[in-house]
């Protein structure tokens, strides 16, 4: 299973960054995750305007970016 990890920094404090796990959707393989996760990332950014995404990645459950 694969999940999307997002690293984002606070807009008001750019040095304050955190990695978020998006486990609301899990993908069966890396290809599926890569193809479909951009929509999830954009929706996450829309819901959290105080954060600025610096990177995101599809990873196997338990891995880090």
Confidence at residue 9, expressed as pLDDT on a 0 to 100 scale:
98
pLDDT at 24: 76
3-state helix, strand, coil split of the chain in percent (to 5) is 30, 45, 25
For 44, the token pair is 């996450």
C-beta separation of 56 from 9 below 8 A? no
Rounded Cα gap, residues 62 and 35, in angstroms:
20
pTM of the complete model: 0.86
Q: What is the pLDDT of residue 13?
A: 97
pLDDT at position 23: 80
pLDDT tens by residue, 2-56? 999 999 999 999 999 999 998 878 999 999 999 999 998 999 999 999 999 999 9
For 25, residues 6+ apart whose C-beta sits below 8 A from its C-beta are: 3, 4, 36, 37, 40
């Amino acid at each position: 299973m694969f999940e999307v990890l997002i690293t984002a920094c606070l807009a008001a404090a750019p040095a304050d960054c955190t990695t978020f796990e998006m486990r609301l959707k899990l993908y069966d393989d890396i290809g599926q995750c890569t193809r479909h996760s951009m929509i999830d990332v954009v929706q996450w950014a829309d819901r959290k305007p105080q954060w600025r995404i610096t990177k995101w990645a599809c990873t196997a459950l338990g891995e880090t970016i």
